[in-house]
Amino acid sequence: MNGTIQSTPITIKHIRKSFGGTPILKDISFDIQPGEFFTLLGSSGCGKTTLLRCIAGFEKADSGSILFGDTDVLPLNPWEKNIGFVFQNYALWPHMTIFENIAYGLKMRKMDKKTIQEKVAWALDLINLSGAEGRYPGELSGGQQQRISIARALVLNPRVLLLDEPLSNLDAKLRIKMRKDIKEIQKRLGITSIYVTHDQEEALELSDRIAVMEKGNVMQVGTPEEIYETPANSFTANFVGRSNQIPGTIRGGTFYALGETPIPLRGLNRKDGDTLLCFRPENVRVSDSLHGFHVKALESSYRGNFVQGTVSLSDNVSFLVDWRERIEEGRALSVEISKYLFYDEEK
């Protein structure tokens, strides 16, 4: 048997990190629940991998604290934290068998041969690769190698599992399959996991909660539904999914795009002033009827399960809509925005 995996709560408090005087992490704080699958989502250079490496101990934060339960692990070395780390490039030793790769950390801990055999067998069964003990990494597919790296991390009974873009080297179909495998393994064990990715679809599918990061800041923390349906700011709305964002002004209960072109919005109940209107293409209803407001079709792009269209409200105002079929350029349409948000300032 492998023993009991711990479900450890994590608290990140006021973490700051700079390189050469350039701030990379700017006062990062959030909590992670025991057994939660928590994702750090953001574009390249936003600080997500640096934060993960600070949690692991591969980088030392300049200030703040990182608590596993009640223990501040920030001063500790990686090998003192009892973490499992899954790397982007698998980091398997090509000259070692699969058994030797998984067993390496157990041997470093000077466990007896029988215990090592049992733990490696458990780990291989967990990732559905029993019988692969004698093979070498080069004989396995990319997805199988990544599962071996996960098994190697989990066999040590870590308090926390950290994964740094583990699927980025796999092709699209294999990434989708591996998402399901990772989610199944994590939920079966109940281990607290922090996952780094730039892939928003991956984050939405895998996560219990997500921290959206940009330029060293956490822009929003929430469930996938909260992040997508009620983004806290225009950055999150634009980064996660597709979003139309139109600056304008509210005057007398009507929104005027760019201050001059009226866009009728049902249920508008806001005070007058400048603002940013945000809505998703799938929340635009399109018809040939006289309801709603009138636009002109500009172009369309076939996307498989839908057609992405662009429509024009005026010479200066256009936005994306989702159609079921291609619509010819210049066709007059009536549209209604069924769901929208306003942002009064950039965050």
Q: What is the CATH number of the domain that holds 185?
A: 3.40.50.300
Could you tell me if residue 4 is inside a domain?
no
Q: Where are the beta strands (DSSP E) in the chain?
A: 10-19, 22-32, 37-41, 63-68, 71-72, 83-86, 160-164, 192-197, 209-214, 217-222, 244-251, 254-257, 261-263, 273-279, 284-287, 293-302, 307-312, 318-323, 332-337, 341-343
Q: Are residues 122 and 58 in the same domain?
A: yes
pLDDT(243) > 90: yes
Q: Are residues 204 and 270 in the same domain?
A: no
Mean pLDDT of 42-64: 96
Tell me the pLDDT tens digit for each residue of 136-159: 999 998 889 999 999 999 999 999
Number of domains in the chain: 2
The pLDDT value recorded for residue 88 is 85
Q: Are residues 15 and 115 in the same domain?
A: yes
Mean pLDDT of 266-271: 90
Q: Are residues 260 and 155 in the same domain?
A: no
Q: Are residues 53 and 173 in the same domain?
A: yes
Tell me the pLDDT tens digit for each residue of 200-225: 999 999 999 999 999 999 999 999 99
Of 237, 244, 242, 229, nearest in space to 306 by CA: 242
Could you tell me if residue 5 is inside a domain?
no
Could you tell me if residue 49 is inside a domain?
yes
Q: Are residues 115 and 214 in the same domain?
A: yes
User: Which of 190, 205, 238 is at the close of a domain?
Assistant: 238
Radius of gyration (Cα) for the chain, nearest Å?
A: 25
User: Which of 238, 265, 282 is at the close of a domain?
Assistant: 238
Q: Are residues 316 and 204 in the same domain?
A: no
Angstrom distance (rounded) from CA 324 to CA 302? 9
Of 161, 239, 222, 215, nearest in space to 27 by CA: 215
Of 154, 153, 167, 163, nearest in space to 39 by CA: 163
Could you tell me if residue 3 is inside a domain?
no
Q: Give ∠ CA 201-205-206 in degrees, rounded to 5.
A: 115
Q: Are residues 293 and 334 in the same domain?
A: yes
Average pLDDT of the residues of the chain: 92
Confidence bin at 171 (pLDDT 50/70/90): confident
Q: Are residues 166 and 267 in the same domain?
A: no
Q: How far is CA 20 from the centre of its chain?
A: 28
Q: Are residues 217 and 255 in the same domain?
A: no
Report the CATH number that the domain containing residue 253 is assigned in CATH: 2.40.50.140
User: Which of 238, 273, 307 is at the close of a domain?
Assistant: 238
Which residues are CB-neighbours of 209 under 8 A, at least 6 positions away?
A: 32, 33, 36, 38, 39, 221, 222, 223, 224
Q: Are residues 303 and 217 in the same domain?
A: no
Cβ–Cβ under 8 Å, residues 101 and 139: no
Q: Are residues 231 and 246 in the same domain?
A: no
What range defines the domain where residue 63 resides?
A: 10-238
| The dihedral sign for the CA sequence 310, 311, 314, 318 | negative
